[in-house]
Amino acid sequence: MSKKTNAPIYSQQLGAVRGSVWESSTDEGRVFHNVTITRSYREKNSEEWKESSSFNGLADLALVREVARLAAKWIEQRERDLEAND
């Protein structure tokens, strides 16, 4: 069973696309990371921001690719830092 935090440990937004990294650990202390990628939008005639896991065409996909690359780079560094502290 894993223990989860309530907030991402890392987040990066490019345009309307945001990638967030969530750090969790098992009862045995093994740390692992999950990534969510979302797109922010507002509906017509609304001031409320919403999130979607659906993306619009090539422009959004280019942002998804870059956000995923940045998240992967951050996770790689985080795992190196965690190993160095063990």
Sequence-distant (6+) residues with CB within 8 A of 49 are 40, 41, 42
Which pLDDT belongs to residue 1? Answer: 45
Strands 17-26 and 31-42, bridge-based pairing: antiparallel
* Tens-place pLDDT, residues 6-54: 899 999 999 999 999 999 999 998 999 999 999 999 998 999 999 999 9
Question: Residue 3: its pLDDT value, please?
Answer: 52
The span from the CA of 28 to the CA of 17, in Å, is 34
Structural domain range at position 22: 2-84
Q: What is the CA radius of gyration of the chain?
A: 15
pTM for the structure as a whole: 0.85
- Tally of structural domains, the chain: 1
